[in-house]
Amino acid sequence: MPRTPSAIPWSAAAPRTGIGPLLAVTLGVTLPSLVAVILVIIGNGGEFSYGMDGPYIHMAMADQIRQGSYGLNPGEPASPSSSILYPFLLALLTPLPFGAATSLIFCLAANAGSAVLLCLIATECGIRLRAVAPAYLALMAAAMSLGLNLVGLAMGGLEHAPQVTFSLAALLGLVRFCHRGRADAWWIATLVLLPLLRFETGSVTLGCMLAMVALGRWRLATMTLGLTILVLGGFFATMHALGLPALPQSVLDRSMVAGTGAHTDWRRLPGRLIWILYTNSRVNLLSHGGAHILLGLLVTAWGTVVGLGPRNATFRWTQPLAGFDARDRARIAAALLFACAGLAHVLAGSLVSISRYEIYVIVLGLGAMLVVFDRPAETLFGHLGAWTCAAICASFLLGGAGYALRSIDAVKSAQALHATDDQMARFVTEYWRGPVMVTRWGRINWHNPNVVAPMPPPSVAVPDAVQIAQAETEAARRGIGLALLFDGGGTVEPPAWRPVARLSARRIGAGETNFGITLYAVTEADIPRIRAALRDFAPTVPPITMLEMLP
């Protein structure tokens, strides 16, 4: 009786990828991002900028890490970064002459790595990409880059691009583990590092550990869990020694679940947490990303059940995946991993911040579908022509139209930030050259040797008079004469402060609000110095920026 493809030893069944397909998908994924970068540089008059504050915070922290500190101001511990690992990765690149593009280059490389990993996953599952014309692979990769917002992740310059890469590496290692019965050292290292890159990616680590348990590899799962706890525990202990919260401030401020847990009395925590999880999942399901994840989970689960072959051994609770052949084990494990990451993110994660938080789950789902639907995919790619390629590209672009439009938003946001935050940072570092108080950390912290103090955050629980007193006390303690208040922040400024000027972007999209920055003199004595610095600064303001002197 001839052996089925599932029964063929995997080392013999898996084809080789070849350098051609890898180059094609790398080019396809990278090209749309490069076009977006060029548009930003043209719009900014020859300079690159990001569309948000996050990458500048990471790069400022990377500079401090190289100097032996952990924070934004020298000698002042702080944890504003949402990622433990990412600032340290950027610190390795800081000596290179990339300047503001340091984080961009890292994210472009991460996107290219994600494309390569998808190819390796396909090859591991027996899908012969060498049969596809390189032009078709490049076109599909470009459509995927737009439809899954990989362009936005690269332009954002944050840890979300390598988060996708690490998640796909975890999936590849899991598939190889199911096929070959041994765990690669790099796979275990990836699983341990995933929560350090972003905390929610710990669900990917958990999914892989559950697969280990399902295969009867309890010791391996225990070792992976122990290493992960050891590394995270070391970070938490370090934060405690520095007098900082265990979780980064960004996580406490932005995560509904983590913030609630940190600020709720432990006796009320269970009931409060259940309500927050319900509220959080409801908000997530109202977004189009939530629908993408749930649909992917349904399709993957259906494909796994339909594609399973007969078991070759009696079911055992200690090894529920025993008895399935290698291909079926990989299918079940991939579906389990996707379900673990997807459900955890919908329940406790976030899908509401410019479509970047959930991308790792969606791309992980795409990789899981390659594993689950390996045979149909092999047939499809084995006879892929122009019309099929066009249909796949259209599916990415139409199904991910909301994500594709984020690429346009990324370009516009980068140009707006250059017109405001870039210019304000230049004014502070080159003309003011002194400490300032701000309502928002970001661009102004990067390559700024002076102290940047935060305004007290607005809170309905704190009376306005208390917030005003806190701001005045902090400004006096640090000798601050200039405060930079961003529009729309809800901050209560002290009545003794005097607005001196306002800086905003000249070009914005139709229907958008032109948020700017108002410069305040902390005391009357600071006004002449601020005006003198502004007079020197005004001739250097680019055409895309409006600088208005206030009476």
Q: Containing H/E element for 502?
A: strand 498-505
Tokens of 197: 């890159």
Q: What angle is formed at CA 120 by the lines to CA 22 and CA 32, rounded to 5 degrees?
A: 45
Alpha carbons 178 and 368: distance in angstroms, whole number: 13
Q: How far apart are CA 506 and CA 14, in angstroms?
A: 56
**Overall size of the chain counted in residues:** 551
Helix axes 269-285, 326-348, angle to 10 degrees: 110
Neighbours of 388 (CB within 10 A): 15
The tens-digit pLDDT sequence of the chain (551 residues) is 344 444 444 444 556 667 889 999 999 999 999 999 999 999 999 999 999 899 999 999 999 999 999 999 988 998 888 899 999 999 999 888 899 999 999 999 999 999 999 999 999 999 999 989 999 999 999 999 999 999 999 999 999 999 999 999 999 999 999 999 999 999 999 999 999 999 999 999 999 999 999 999 999 999 999 999 999 999 999 999 999 888 877 776 666 565 454 455 555 667 677 877 878 788 888 877 888 899 999 999 999 999 887 776 666 777 788 778 889 999 999 999 999 999 999 988 888 766 788 999 999 999 999 999 999 999 999 889 999 999 999 999 999 998 888 888 899 999 999 999 999 999 999 999 999 999 988 899 999 999 999 998 877 778 889 989 999 999 999 999 999 998 877 788 899 999 999 999 886 543 455 578 999 999 999 999 999 999 999 999 999 899 999 98
CA nearest neighbour of 121 among 59, 189, 167: 167
CB of 172 within 8 A of CB of 431? no
Q: What gap in Å lies between CA 235 and CA 68, rounded to an integer?
A: 16
Q: Are the CB atoms for 178 and 333 separated by under 8 Å?
A: yes
Instruction: Give the strands of the sheet with 545-549, arranged side by side.
Output: 452-454, 436-438, 482-486, 516-521, 498-505, 545-549
Q: Exposure pattern of 53-78 as b/e (b: 16+ CB <10 Å)? A: bbbbbbbbbbbbbeeebbbbbeeebb
What is residue 510's predicted lDDT score, i.e. its pLDDT?
Answer: 39
Q: Residue 381, exposed/middle/buried by CB under 10 A (0-12, 13-18, 19+)?
A: buried
pLDDT at residue 275, as a whole number: 76
> Distance from first CA to last CA of the chain, Å, rounded?
92
Q: With beta carbons less than 8 A apart as the criterion, state whether 362 and 284 touch.
A: no
Q: Which helix (H) or strand (E) holds 126?
A: none
**How far is it, in rounded angstroms, from Cα 84 to Cα 124?**
31
381: amino acid identity, one letter: F
Q: Is 485 helix (H, G, I), strand (E, B) or coil?
A: strand
DSSP 8-class letter at 48: -
User: CA 96, CA 117: separation in Å to the nearest integer?
Assistant: 26
Helix or strand or coil: residue 97? coil
Pairing of strands 436-438, 452-454: parallel
**Tokens 């898996």 — which residue?**
14
Residue 316 near residue 156, CB atoms below 8 Å: no
- Whether this prediction's pTM lies above 0.85 is answered by yes
Q: In this structure, which amino acid lies at residue 35?
A: V
Q: Are 102 and 94 in contact (CB under 8 A)?
A: yes
Q: Rounded to an integer, what distance in angstroms lies between the CA atom of residue 60 and that of residue 72?
A: 6
